[in-house]
């Protein structure tokens, strides 16, 4: 089974991001970059499915030329080869339409993507891609047994593939939903699907020799003019300090008069 996985290069979520003085972009100089954590889960799931069903895992990144580092990391985890579309920052729609071209060429049976990237948290590319391809989709894939389960310890995939169908447990408000999809299909991953493996040292050495095909974005003939425009970045408002109340009466009074919630 051929599986396509996407990996986005994002700013390190453990570092504080800074907004440029004009408020139109984020400062990237001196910033650390890491693979989008949801995408690492996608890579892990693809590798587990490959172990169970054989086939090939192809990693795609669309973005900065240095994103080859994030592809290389997925290859070090065990993926077979990479495709790197070198482009400036794109909106999710452009990404979905570029991915559609790659899917048409590669003809995978499954595309696994992080449900969103931790930089802009758009949560759109997977759904848009499914729409453009006319493929079934299961977003927010999760593991019903949970991350402390024996199934997870045995590295069992959460997505079940059988008889040309994928069964996916997904997280919805207040519960879980089970979907059966006809392959080929799109799956996007949530946090509770698996624990991604570490890239082992021999894996890192092997990854050096695995191929990464670099493709300039222009070669796809896709109009990548953004449909989404960034108007302004702003820090979240600082949280006001709390106050201590002496008794319940004062609390009720404040909830009525100040917070106006009761």
State the binding string over 50-89 for other proteins (x if CB under 8 A, else -).
Answer: -------------------x--xx--x-------------
With binding defined as CB under 8 A, does residue 210 bind other proteins? no
Residue with Cβ nearer other proteins (27 or 176): 27
CB-based contacts of 10-13 (< 8 A; 24+ apart in sequence) = 10/34, 10/35, 10/36, 10/117, 10/118, 10/119, 11/119, 13/37, 13/118
53 φ/ψ angles, rounded to the nearest 5 degrees:
-120, 0
Write down the least CB distance from residue 247 to other proteins, Å: 28
Residue with Cβ nearer other proteins (205 or 218): 205
With binding defined as CB under 8 A, does residue 30 bind other proteins? yes
Write down the least CB distance from residue 109 to other proteins, Å: 30
- Within 176-205, the residues that bind other proteins by CB under 8 A are 198-205
Residue with Cβ nearer other proteins (12 or 104): 12
The beta strands (E) that lie in the chain are given as 2-6, 9-11, 33-35, 56-63, 81-86, 110-114, 137-142, 160-162, 165-172, 175-182, 185-189, 212-216
* Residues contributing to the site for other proteins (CB under 8 A): 29-30, 32, 69, 72-73, 76, 198-205, 207-208
């Amino acid at each position: 089974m051929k599986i396509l996985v996407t990996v986005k290069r994002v700013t390190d979520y453990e570092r504080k991001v800074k907004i440029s003085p004009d408020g139109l972009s984020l400062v990237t100089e001196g910033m650390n970059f890491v693979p989008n954590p949801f995408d690492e889960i996608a890579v892990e799931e693809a590798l587990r499915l490959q172990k169970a069903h054989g086939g090939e895992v192809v990693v795609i990144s669309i973005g900065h030329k240095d994103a080859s580092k994030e592809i290389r990391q997925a290859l070090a985890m065990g993926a077979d080869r990479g495709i790197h579309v070198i482009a400036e920052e794109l909106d999710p729609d452009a990404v979905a339409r570029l991915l559609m071209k790659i899917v048409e060429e590669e003809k995978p049976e499954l595309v696994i993507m992080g449900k969103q990237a931790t930089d802009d948290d758009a949560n759109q590319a997977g759904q848009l891609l499914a729409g453009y391809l006319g493929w079934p989709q299961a977003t927010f894939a999760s593991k019903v047994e949970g991350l402390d389960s024996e199934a997870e310890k045995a590295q069992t995939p959460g997505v079940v593939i059988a008889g040309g169908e994928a069964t996916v447990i997904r997280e919805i408000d207040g519960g879980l939903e089970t979907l059966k999809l006809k392959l080929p299909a799109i799956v996007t991953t949530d946090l509770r699907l698996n624990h991604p493996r570490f890239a082992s040292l021999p894996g890192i050495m092997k990854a050096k020799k695995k191929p990464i095909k670099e493709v300039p974005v222009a070669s796809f003939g896709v109009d990548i003019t953004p449909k989404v425009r960034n108007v302004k970045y702003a820090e979240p408002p600082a949280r006001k300090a709390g106050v201590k109340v002496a008794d319940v009466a004062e609390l009720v009074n404040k909830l009525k008069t100040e917070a106006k919630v009761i």
